[in-house]
Amino acid sequence: MTPRRFSFLLGASFIVALSVLGAIPAWTQDTVLKTQAFGTLTRPVALFDHDTHNEKAGLDDCAICHHVYRNGKLVAGESSEDKACSDCHTLQGQGRQPGLRVAYHTACAGCHTTKAKGPLACGQCHRR
């Protein structure tokens, strides 16, 4: 093998390796639910593939989940996707604002129940 050919193969395999590595996050979930606030989790993190989910479920309005409240009223037309749920929802509920776990479960399982579509049982979201 000539040095030229060798360096070509080396470079090519480098590029192939990089693109494979780069593709890995695309195969797994793209959004990571921020769970630090829970401390050690007692269950596997819930399945939630943000964009695929919202496309499948036909959710165009970001504020369905990323809501904004002012003076206890839902503000229409404003959304809070720059914030994590846990930025507002502390572990323990505060007044009418539910605690973090309850907020997630009410939002996620609540909609699945009304639509009778999507996961409902614990083990469907918290997949081992």
Partner 1 sequence: MERIYILVSGPLAWIAWSVLILGSIYRLWQVFSLAKQKEQVLFSYISLKYALRSIINWSIPWNTTNMRLHPIFTGVAFLFHIGFFVILIFLSAHVIMIEEGFGLSWPTIPDALADVMAFLVVGACIFFGVRRIVRPEVAFVTDWTDFALLGLVAAPFLTGILAYHQWGDPLLMTILHMLSAEILLISIPFTRLVHMLFAPFTRGYIGSEFGMVRHVKDW
Interacting residue ranges for ligand HEC, rule: CB under 6 A: 31-35, 38, 41-43, 45-48, 50, 53-54, 56-57, 59, 62, 64-69, 72, 80-81, 83-89, 96-98, 101, 103-109, 111-112, 115, 117-120, 122, 124-126
Q: Is 69 helix (H, G, I), strand (E, B) or coil?
A: strand
The correct pick among 55, 106, 107, 111 for binding partner 1 (CB under 8 A) is 106
Residues 82-101 that bind partner 1 (CB under 8 A): 101
The three-class DSSP label of residue 94 is strand
Tokens of 31: 């959004």
Task: Write out the H or E segment, with its range, that includes residue 74.
Answer: strand 73-74
What's the rounded Cα separation, in Å, for the pair 31 and 25?
Answer: 10
Residues of this chain that interact with partner 1 (CB under 8 A) are: 42, 101-102, 105-106, 112-113, 116-124, 127-128
